[in-house]
Amino acid sequence: MIKIREIKAKSIISKSNLPGADYVINPYTGCIHSCLYCYARFMKRFTEHTEPWGKFIDAKINGPDLIPENTSKYKGKTIFMSSVTDPYNPLEGKYRLTRRILEKLIPLQPELGILTKSNLVLRDVDLLVKFKSCDVGITITTTNDTLRREIEPSTSSIQKRIEALQKLKEAGIETYVFIGPILPFFTDWKEIILETKKFSGSYLFENLNIKGAVWGCIRRWLTDKHQNLLPEYERIYFTKSGYWDNVEKDIEEFCREQKLEFEIYFHH
């Protein structure tokens, strides 16, 4: 059962701490994609929710009205959607907050960035092409849809995401693939690249970060579904294994061989 609330926000554009982004917009608080590795679960403490992360979402129904008009403040500045939610989570089909925000942003002409796990982004191609600078990233953690349903159950299928990537590129929109988080022994990042490189202008990589409550979620999942790998995860994360140094080196070598643009954002 998902708890859905309609709330009124005080602001919608926030300064960003993300690399490459001046501002962020989060049309929703919470997300119902229910990704077990989600780093944004810390946001729960800023809400009154008692439901587990992934089981609630607040729709900022006045969000589009908070976009200012007739300002040059954001022209040439990067606005990223979104940092702690997915702007195209399933509720966007009903509330259309992301779409209405985009309509308000077009006259302001920021450098727009979007990252999503949903093919719903295709609905808004007619708006995205009106930005002079716009890039859309599609997150892909695995090419195995059975695994996808285990770790991110309410997201679009992998095939739909790859098709969305292709259609975005065909529309003339700059695209990239975010391969993250890389889950040891599950994320075949080479296969993801080979499946998508015709449609992706660049790649971003991030490894699994187990800080906060994430490790508890990962440990329970491994215990329930992949118990044989729990000792390996404990070795990687709780000893000086050098595992991620080797993965980072492999990514660099492979991407250079493939002549790909890429950036690595690893937590060590």
The DSSP result for 150-185, as a single string, is HHSTTSPPHHHHHHHHHHHHHTT-EEEEEEEEEPTT
Q: Which residues form the domain of 134?
A: 3-265
Tokens of 79: 């606005």
- CB–CB of 141/187 below 8 Å? yes
59 DSSP β-pair partners: 6, 28
Q: What is the pLDDT of residue 49?
A: 78
CB contact set of 220 (below 8 Å; sequence gap of 6+): none
Per-residue pLDDT of the chain (268 residues; tens, 9 = 90+): 889 999 999 999 999 988 889 999 999 999 999 899 998 777 777 787 788 887 889 999 999 999 999 899 999 999 999 999 999 999 999 999 999 999 999 999 999 999 999 999 999 999 999 999 999 999 999 999 999 999 999 999 999 999 999 999 999 999 999 999 999 999 999 999 999 999 999 999 999 999 988 999 999 999 999 999 999 999 999 999 999 999 999 999 999 999 999 999 998 6
Token code pair at residue 44: 């729960």
* Residue 208 near residue 184, CB atoms below 8 Å: yes
Q: Which of 174, 157, 178 is nearest to 82 (CA)?
A: 178
Per-residue tokens: 230: 């729990």
- CATH code for position 234: 3.20.20
Q: 19: buried, middle or exposed (CB in 10 Å: 19+, 13-18, 0-12)?
A: exposed
Q: Give me the amino acid identity at 53.
A: W
Round to whole Å and give the CA distance between 117 and 167.
Answer: 15
What is the per-residue pLDDT for 268? 66
The total of structural domains in the chain comes to: 1
Closest CA to 49 of 7, 105, 88, 98: 7
- The angle formed by the CA atoms of residues 165, 172 and 114, to the nearest 5 degrees, is 55
Q: What gap in Å lies between CA 179 and CA 138, rounded to an integer?
A: 9
Q: Which whole-number Å values give the CA distances from 171 to 50, 72, 81, 140, 159, in the listed order? A: 42, 27, 19, 21, 18
Tell me 200's DSSP state: -
